[in-house]
Structure 1
Amino acid sequence: MVCVLLLFVGFSLIWSSAFIVGKVAIAHLDPLVLLAVRFLLGSVCLLPFVLWQGRKFWQWPTIRFGAIAGVLNNALYLGLSFLALQTVPASLLVVIISCAPLLTSAFAVASGQEPLNAARFVGFTICIAGVACVAAWQPAAGTGLDHAAMFSSGALPGYAMAIGGTVAFAFGTVFLKSRVMGASPVDVNFWQSLVGGLVLLPLALFRVPDVGQWAVTFDGPVLLSILYLAVVITLGAMFLWLYLIGRFGASKAAAAHLINPLSGLVLSAVILGSDVSLVQVFGAVLIGFGLYIAVFHRGNRGNRALIK
């Protein structure tokens, strides 16, 4: 039991760390440049694995599925999320994004794929209360922003982008989960990373047309951040996710995401020096409990998260 818990906590910490590390990198590099380089480098790292598997790598259904996932998950979801990191504290961003299973369940109910029952309604209510706790008592120390600035009208676009990215991920999950994915997740993740990088590349060039400025990517902490995102997150988190699915099944493995709000708070405190209040911890626990009731409670179908 302890080993299983460590596996789930480890996956959650790795997943949540992507936004904490990204917060460090975007202090020196445009977010879309960071993501474009990360995804293209990640696809290069994945190439030997897809060539080794080989079987359905070049089949059109695999490419199409990966391309759609790349646009929804990488370009929109992560693109908007990393842009939001410029004004939204990383710990709060992780909390917002961790509500994706909640939105996925809501979209599934709205589309008629799943019923709205008492458990879902109670879970939704608890999650909203948890988000309110984390947001209302968000401390500013260590974030580079004072409390007034974090909730001023100028910060609203960042929160709108964070919510928009979460909606894109949730919609993509509902849209794609009913399609049959005959390809290996490794193949799909390769096309997802490649297409995501290619979609973001022209946008990155538009925002930073002087490619010479991209040279900062080869300097110290920024380079380490990119390598961490491309290798540890794109490769390491994916293989750990596949292991969890293979051992426990997709629905049970997805429960690891319930730990993300708390993981985000802890990592933000350790790496960025952000303050964490007891109210925030209580709110993170509420979110996890609410998501469990709404999404993973017996009688509710677990939503299968798309692999990053």
Structure 2
Amino acid sequence: MLSKWVTAFAPAVWGTTYYVTTEHLPPDRPLLAGLLRALPAGLLLVAVTRRLPSGEWWWRSLVLGTLNIGVFLPLLFLAAYRLPGGVAATVGAVQPLLVAGLAVVLLGQRVTARVALAGLAGVAGVALLVLRADARLDAVGVAAALGGAVSMAAGVVLGKRWAAPAPLPAVTGWQLVAGGVVLLPVALLVEGLPPALTAENVGGFAYLGLVGGAPAYALWFRGVRELAATQVTFLGLLSPVVATAVGWLALGQGFTAWQAVGAAVVLGALVVAQRRVAPRERTAVGR
């Protein structure tokens, strides 16, 4: 039980990213924010642990870092630019269902009715929480949001399949560095060099790296290692709940009765998905 709620710290912190980005960072630099959340934190962890990948973990770290960070973040921000936030979050909420499907192929884990219904409820709850009636659709934006969900889902399932031979801080550092290196040329090409930064900007970037970077990703990857893949991915539904709560409390944004219902549905789906995994639901890898 403790592992689940410790892991939940990561998506809860990531739910504050929108507030920090809009209120404390320079405008129109989302890729820079993602880069500075990943690369410095990863380099710090590698320096502290003094451990580099060996053998097949060079390419495995590159694959996992690319899926979890290097591809996921650009697609996430592209979706945010092309779609209203509610649409992007609703499309992204299909991630638990994607993880469940990939777990069948890669982990030998069957999809139960409980997980499927909880996944559908999660999508519906996020839609009630963040979707607006006047939301518009954009094909590129929807494809980016779906691609980001697929990328992160694949990262979760492969991270579960590949048992790392090193301590968690080292493995986290490898993935953050790999993802940051992949993201670096994208950020420079799309956004260019950053403007002069204020003390407030530096503080915001420090928060993303020191709170939303190394410790959050370490706890997330710890959850991937110790919990069932579907249990971990459902915890990601906390992000839109926290983002909505922060917008209400810190920015004075409205909070309707339907949003309250949506939040309750999301939390209910999350709790149902965290039920103890029956032996028949465990992965073939874990047997």
What TM-score, normalized to structure 1? Answer: 0.73
Q: Distance in 2 between matches of 1:4 and 1:110?
A: 25
Q: Which amino acid aligns with 2:154?
A: F
- Tell me if 1:293 matches 2:272: yes
1:275 to 245, 248, 254: 254
Q: Is the 8 A contact 1:90 1:268 kept in 2?
A: no
The aligned runs of 1:255-274 (5 Å cut-off) are 256-257=235-236, 259-274=238-253
Is the partner of 1:60 in helix, strand or coil?
coil
Compute the RMSD of aligned alpha carbons. 3.6
- Tell me if 1:121 matches 2:96: no
Partner of 1:199: 182
Q: Distance in 2 between matches of 1:61 and 1:192?
A: 14
Greater mean alpha carbon deviation, residues 261-270 or residues 189-198: 261-270
Q: Is the 8 A contact 1:101 1:295 kept in 2?
A: no
Q: Distance in 1 between matches of 2:33 and 2:267?
A: 30
Q: Is the 8 A contact 1:46 1:190 kept in 2?
A: yes
- Aligned-residue offset at 1:49: 2.1
Q: Distance in 2 between matches of 1:84 and 1:152?
A: 12
The aligned runs of 1:102-121 (5 Å cut-off) are 102-109=97-104, 113-121=108-116
Runs (5+) with no aligned partner, structure 2 = none
2:80 to 82, 85, 88: 85
1:229 to 195, 202, 208: 208
Is the partner of 1:188 in helix, strand or coil?
helix
- Aligned-residue offset at 1:21: 2.1
1:152 to 114, 131, 136: 136
Q: Is the 8 A contact 1:98 1:261 kept in 2?
A: no
Q: Which amino acid aligns with 2:136?
A: S
Partner of 2:62: 67
Is the partner of 1:183 in helix, strand or coil?
coil
- Aligned-residue offset at 1:74: 0.5
Is the partner of 1:233 in helix, strand or coil?
coil
Alpha-carbon deviations, 1:239-278, whole Å to 9, x = none?
55578799xx535984754543422211222344432222
Change (3 A) 1:112 1:177: closer
Q: Distance in 1 between matches of 2:155 and 2:121?
A: 24
Q: Distance in 2 between matches of 1:27 and 1:79?
A: 17
Change (3 A) 1:18 1:109: same
